[in-house]
């Protein structure tokens, strides 16, 4: 005759005895609130709705990707244990196995999260044929596959068994099939969870944490994504819009129109250390043929882009805390703009897509057509500083010259050897000739590049470097965009230099590599460490050394080429060619 008292009372009211139940003799099993296999699990309190202390400020304060402090290194042993658990007989047995190594509420949630993300695959067949789909937790467990509702339902049930308050949430998402700028209406298209830890609600999405499907939605690939575990609500709202706005956990909450218009930042955006993108809307309208995007980030990050699948028609410049991109579409209408990024010190060359926009171009700026040789990013940056090019005289990516001439200076170590060349569209500037339109001069740690453009137009100045002690090839470092609109600008190449020409030697005159025929031409050179200098035309013309310069003149009559030659050692009679000039046809 054991007497058992069962108290039944309304939620959130003080206990009040309604009924006493007496059970007869013999072993009897009390009915369970969660089914007949829940023996040994603690009773989970009914989830409370979110309140003021659950809310986070919007927009994101850039403090953390998580909504609570989490040390992932402390989870390493637990994560490894959860991945090895192999129980499919019942959800209860699976939870018991996981809780052997999980003790705090956070550890319990983590173990459940890790197991689901690594053992349940997305059911692409069931997604297309809902009649063959079951989202019951036991069916999801035993089949090892489901859609988002099954992931969220299994997670909710496992948390309940583990004594963790958990909610299954429904809403709109910017996942598979999402198109930039689309509107949302009708039924929800996604499910995820909220868990109650340390006195606050937190958000997670085990479906997106487990992996991804291909573009045709026919194949799922396990690809664990840590970002969607306890994601900061101000970041979660970027692609999750709950039916009940209270579950945004934000103050102020977003309206659906904001969610639709806002640019989609995928998880790569934040895991690569990026902070914000401007503009914040998915659709950009060009102004006078140009659209601009900028990204803020903490670490030095490399970027590239594609406009309608090509890297052309854009100017991407790297900043210490991000990048700026100006694109100039060469056709009207809507065009897809993708932005990619990778850590600057990454061992591989794989860029990940972090942003997508739709650029709507109403009118094309024909004058903004960029040379095909232009390489991204453009202009000096922290990356060129790492390669040794410091304090550039021209920090911007575009150099505009009125007369077709310009001079650039950098501070750099003497151990570096530099090569520069000029490029443009068309066949009138082959690579060898392009090098001769740039002359370099070294003065201690100062490098000067003099550039003479062959004509008006748009050109690319590419700069390469290597250590002098390195026998290998030059490595590309960066490039500038040069522009000259003066129709009469037309400069000949500089004289051709040979290997014996010293980097700290200087041509004062003549700078033109093409000399007039049958004329006396004056020479002035700064050449150190040689015994003699002469100019070889039809005759030989020795130059005189005075105040650090070698000076004199020669006559170009009767010759097609003129050479500058140096006598390096007074004890020998051998002269080395260091410069070559062409002579105009008579």
Closest C-alpha to 205, from 138, 259, 267, 261: 267
**Per-residue tokens: 551:** 């000076």
Check if the beta carbon of residue 353 is closer than 8 Å to that of residue 340.
Answer: yes
Gyration radius from the chain CA atoms: 36
Classify strands 333-343 and 301-307 as parallel, antiparallel or unpaired. Answer: antiparallel
Q: Which 8-state DSSP code applies to residue 429?
A: S
Longest dimension (CA), the chain: 132
Secondary structure (DSSP) of 553-585: EEE-TT-SEEEEEEE--TT----EEEEEEEE--
Active site residue 189: no
Closest C-alpha to 451, from 471, 412, 485, 480: 480
Four-residue CA torsion sign, 348, 350, 354, 359: positive
* Residue 308, Ramachandran bin (φ over 0: left; ψ between -120 and 50: alpha; else beta): left
Check if the beta carbon of residue 475 is closer than 8 Å to that of residue 451.
Answer: no
Active site residue 190: yes
Closest C-alpha to 455, from 484, 433, 431: 484
Please tell me the number of Cα atoms within 13 Å of 438 on its side-chain side. 25
Q: How far apart are CA 564 and CA 491, in angstroms?
A: 21
Angstrom distances, CA of residue 238 to CA of 182, 212, 233, 242, 288:
14, 18, 9, 11, 30
Check if the beta carbon of residue 353 is closer than 8 Å to that of residue 381.
Answer: no
Check if the beta carbon of residue 7 is closer than 8 Å to that of residue 15.
Answer: yes
- Marked catalytic residue, from 54, 79, 123, 205: 205
Active site residue 205: yes
Secondary structure (DSSP) of 280-299: -BSEEE-BTTBEEEEEEESS
**Per-residue tokens: 283:** 């659709």
3-state secondary structure string across 184-233? CCCCCCEEEEEEEECCEEEEECHHHHHEEECCCCCCEEECCCHHHCCECH
Angstrom distances, CA of residue 246 to CA of 42, 379, 498:
28, 47, 74
Cβ atoms within 10 Å, residue 450: 17
Closest C-alpha to 284, from 253, 314, 310: 314
Check if the beta carbon of residue 464 is closer than 8 Å to that of residue 419.
Answer: yes
- Marked catalytic residue, from 190, 240, 265, 452: 190
Check if the beta carbon of residue 187 is closer than 8 Å to that of residue 173.
Answer: no
The distance in angstroms from the start CA to the end CA of the chain is 130
Closest C-alpha to 245, from 109, 49, 437: 49
Q: How far apart are CA 391 and CA 319, in angstroms?
A: 14
- Marked catalytic residue, from 117, 135, 148, 484: 148
In sequence order, what are the beta bridge partners of 482? 399, 459
Show which residues are catalytic: 148, 190, 205
């Amino acid at each position: 005759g054991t007497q058992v008292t069962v108290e039944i009372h309304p939620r959130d009211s003080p206990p009040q005895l309604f009924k006493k139940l007496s059970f007869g003799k013999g072993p009897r099993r009390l009915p369970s609130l969660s089914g007949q296999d829940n023996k040994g699990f603690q009773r989970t309190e009914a989830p409370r709705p979110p309140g003021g202390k659950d809310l986070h400020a919007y927009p994101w304060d850039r403090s953390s990707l998580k909504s609570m402090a989490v040390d992932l290194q402390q989870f390493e042993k637990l994560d490894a244990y959860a991945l090895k658990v192999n129980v499919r007989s019942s959800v209860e047995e699976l939870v018991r196995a996981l809780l052997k190594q999980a003790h705090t509420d956070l550890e319990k949630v983590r173990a459940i999260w890790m197991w689901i993300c690594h053992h349940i695959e997305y059911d692409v067949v069931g997604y297309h044929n809902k009649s063959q789909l079951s989202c019951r937790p036991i069916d999801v467990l035993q089949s090892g596959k489901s859609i988002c509702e099954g992931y969220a339902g299994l997670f909710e049930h496992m948390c309940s068994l583990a004594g963790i308050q958990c909610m299954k949430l429904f809403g709109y998402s910017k996942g598979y099939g999402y198109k930039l700028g689309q509107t949302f209406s009708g039924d929800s298209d996604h499910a995820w969870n909220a868990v109650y830890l340390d006195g606050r609600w937190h958000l997670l999405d085990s479906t997106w944490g487990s992996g991804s499907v291909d573009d045709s939605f026919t194949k799922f690939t396990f690809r664990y994504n840590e970002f969607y575990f306890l994601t900061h609500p101000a970041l979660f709202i970027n692609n999750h819009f709950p039916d009940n706005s209270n579950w945004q956990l934000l103050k102020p909450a977003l309206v659906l129109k904001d969610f639709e218009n806002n640019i989609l930042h995928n998880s790569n955006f934040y895991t690569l250390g990026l902070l914000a993108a401007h503009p914040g809307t998915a659709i950009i309208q060009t102004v006078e043929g140009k659209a601009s995007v900028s990204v803020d980030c903490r670490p030095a990050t490399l970027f590239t882009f594609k406009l309608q699948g090509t890297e052309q028609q854009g100017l991407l410049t790297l900043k210490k805390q991000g990048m700026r991109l100006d694109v100039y579409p060469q056709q009207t209408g809507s065009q897809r703009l993708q932005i990619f990024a990778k850590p600057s010190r990454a061992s591989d060359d794989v860029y990940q897509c972090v942003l997508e926009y739709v650029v709507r171009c109403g009118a094309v700026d024909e004058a903004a057509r960029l040379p095909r040789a232009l390489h991204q990013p453009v202009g000096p940056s922290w990356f060129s500083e790492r390669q040794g090019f410091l304090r550039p005289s021209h920090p911007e990516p575009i150099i505009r010259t009125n007369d077709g001439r310009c001079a650039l200076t950098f501070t750099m170590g003497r151990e570096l050897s530099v090569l520069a060349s000029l490029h443009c569209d068309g066949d009138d500037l082959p690579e060898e000739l392009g090098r001769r339109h740039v002359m370099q001069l070294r003065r201690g740690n100062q490098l000067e590049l003099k550039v003479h453009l062959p004509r008006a137009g748009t050109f690319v100045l590419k700069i390469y470097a290597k250590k002098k002690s390195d026998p290998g090839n030059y490595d590309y470092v960066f490039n500038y965009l040069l522009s000259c609109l003066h129709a009469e600008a037309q400069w000949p190449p500089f004289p051709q230099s040979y290997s014996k020409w010293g980097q700290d030697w200087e041509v004062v005159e003549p700078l033109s590599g093409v000399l007039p025929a049958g004329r006396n031409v004056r020479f002035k050179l700064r050449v150190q460490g040689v015994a003699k200098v002469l100019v070889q035309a039809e005759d030989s013309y020795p130059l005189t050394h005075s105040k650090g310069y070698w000076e004199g003149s020669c006559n170009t009559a009767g010759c097609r080429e003129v050479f500058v030659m140096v006598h390096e050692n007074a004890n020998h009679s051998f002269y080395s060619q260091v410069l070559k000039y062409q002579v105009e046809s008579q």
